[in-house]
Structure 1
């Protein structure tokens, strides 16, 4: 974001009608800011689903993308959140990997909403939840695309959505997690799912990972979120989704320190409820369902 904003302003200055510029010195800045608002806002909602993950992306052109759905008990909460935000259908549903705390809540969502297409990790699993997930996809004849590393997914032409990690032979569920880098103008979101340190190492060497907003991997587990990786990401903001008083100790003290050392302000769903980030592609505004969403504990 910071590295591109100046260039955008310069380009807009040269595009600004010169006769108008001569009439008003402040007019040129009014023109610049009016142009940055023309395409609308991107909203990313990190839904509070306890010890799980779920994100709703509402694009500038009014498309809706749901990434994961929390566990089975979270399904109705996700449906409520989507309905409250005016969602009638989902243009893309992403199941990052088959663990129950990511796909469990997708079952009622798939039953409730029309889903245009699904992006799946391709990682097979034997649980009843996963089996029912695949049954619903077949029953409703929803087109399914298996994520391919390095590919781009087109939903809204104003956005870039790239797959940085996908399933590979011998990968565990977490290692098979779909990792997405979402870009709107100069603002990037890195959505890590449950990817681990091995995938972080690969991504930082193969792809551009620097991003203003970082969705903390694996709920803040020490299996992920290495400082070496976060130094490459350089996040301004991080969001961690976890359950209050969970028995896994998420987020770990080590991960919190790594994020603080990397310069990120850490927001937590367990503290603030659903965390929403809105951007015009140049700057971000952050709001939360509950007060005091920032995680300050060392």
Structure 2
């Protein structure tokens, strides 16, 4: 199969248009680049590998490590710093491949930190561009470290040592970040894992219509276990033995959604999740696999009460949980607020989508939000 090539400078110039303050112009040479990950038959040698679904709260990060490969799929939240320490704890010295399934900050949030901490051979991203500082930082660090960059598409397959990767999404970009999520099947020996990022029902249907080979023993649930994904017909085609979701404890989105869990239970599919089990590790010899989990400690009610009792929540320094105590600030708005920092005063919260004068008045009346 021919390699798909493209101009990295095309992506950089889009970012320059979105961010007038960026200083990327002139630092990229307009030369074609393509994936350096090999295509071909898998190695005959199979020994133990492990797949780590890392507990990063309301985000995604999965580490695949084996005798001759190290791959990171997504890199956690932009307001956390837990991915690099975890990789170091596992003895990771380099990464053959880092995949950012799509440009939302709960998936590429610490990708820049990962690249700065470890030698990375290649980065894959969907090709969609975003108007956030997180996305800007990731693009900058890829360029500054001269990392090979690639945008995989349906039908491509790659070999990283004894790990085989088949790309099942996207076929092309539509501008919808979820639709453009990189979907892939990672195969080690006879064990297959399906990743779909935040792909939703429409994208799942398109994969089914294209008759993508998505059957896998292990399925990382789409969009953190949301009911907008993980349809019955899609699950029936994947036919997983276990499903794993990544979500934060008591997150404001309600992930994983009850109807998805009920659906999985009715289909006799075992379910594990980072909000309940912490980091989930699957160990395999390429034929069979085992699962290691540890029960996660419940949220400390005393700490929650401490947050609630605070007289003032500084919107420039507050954590995600603290921001959500401000009226009209849910999980999505809290993420956007953090991206837009710093604020000169509380009145500037109207920069956050969905906060108009009426909601701003409610926030001011509540008296929780402040700028110190």
Query: Fold-level match, TM-score > 0.5?
Result: yes
CA distance in 2, matches of 1:154, 1:38: 14
Displacement of 1:290 in angstroms is 3.5
- What corresponds to 2:128 in structure 1? 123
Higher relative contact order (CA 8 A, sep 6+): 1
- What corresponds to 1:60 in structure 2? 67
Equivalence map 1:196-215=2 (5 Å): 196-205=200-209, 206-215=211-220
- What corresponds to 1:20 in structure 2? none
Of 167, 170, 176, 2:174 maps to 170
| Shift >6 Å, 4+ stretches | none
**Are the aligned partners of 2:173 and 2:180 in contact in 1 as well (CA < 8 Å)?**
no
* TM-score (ref. length: structure 1): 0.81
Kindly indicate whether residue 255 of structure 2 is the aligned counterpart of residue 250 of structure 1: yes
- What corresponds to 1:44 in structure 2? 51
- What corresponds to 1:180 in structure 2? 184
CA distance in 2, matches of 1:174, 1:80: 28
Displacement of 1:165 in angstroms is 0.3
Kindly indicate whether residue 193 of structure 2 is the aligned counterpart of residue 152 of structure 1: no
CA distance in 2, matches of 1:142, 1:169: 23
Gaps in structure 1 of 5+ consecutive residues: 1-36, 293-298
CA displacement 1:139-192 (0-9 Å, x = unmatched): 111010111111112212x22201100262424111110011011222110112
CA distance in 2, matches of 1:147, 1:170: 15
Displacement of 1:280 in angstroms is 1.1
CA distance in 1, matches of 2:188, 2:173: 32
CA displacement 1:205-258 (0-9 Å, x = unmatched): 321111100101101111100011101111111111000111111111111112
**Number of residue pairs matched by the alignment:** 253
CA distance in 1, matches of 2:78, 2:112: 8
**Are the aligned partners of 1:227 and 1:262 in contact in 2 as well (CA < 8 Å)?**
no
Displacement of 1:106 in angstroms is 1.2
**Are the aligned partners of 1:225 and 1:258 in contact in 2 as well (CA < 8 Å)?**
no
Answer with 1 or 2: which has the greater Rg. Answer: 2
Kindly indicate whether residue 221 of structure 2 is the aligned counterpart of residue 219 of structure 1: no
- What corresponds to 1:190 in structure 2? 194
**Are the aligned partners of 2:103 and 2:177 in contact in 1 as well (CA < 8 Å)?**
yes
**Are the aligned partners of 2:153 and 2:172 in contact in 1 as well (CA < 8 Å)?**
no
- What corresponds to 1:113 in structure 2? 118
**Are the aligned partners of 2:61 and 2:72 in contact in 1 as well (CA < 8 Å)?**
yes
For 1:153, what is the secondary structure of its paired residue?
strand
CA distance in 2, matches of 1:86, 1:195: 31
For 2:115, what is the secondary structure of its paired residue?
helix
Displacement of 1:43 in angstroms is 0.9
CA distance in 1, matches of 2:111, 2:164: 24
Change (3 A) 1:71 1:89: same
Of 268, 272, 277, 2:282 maps to 277
Displacement of 1:92 in angstroms is 0.5
Coordinate RMSD, CA, aligned? 1.7
* TM-score (ref. length: structure 2): 0.65
CA distance in 1, matches of 2:294, 2:277: 6
**Are the aligned partners of 1:123 and 1:167 in contact in 2 as well (CA < 8 Å)?**
no
CA displacement 1:72-125 (0-9 Å, x = unmatched): 133x31111101111011110001100000001112111111111111111111
- What corresponds to 2:76 in structure 1? 70
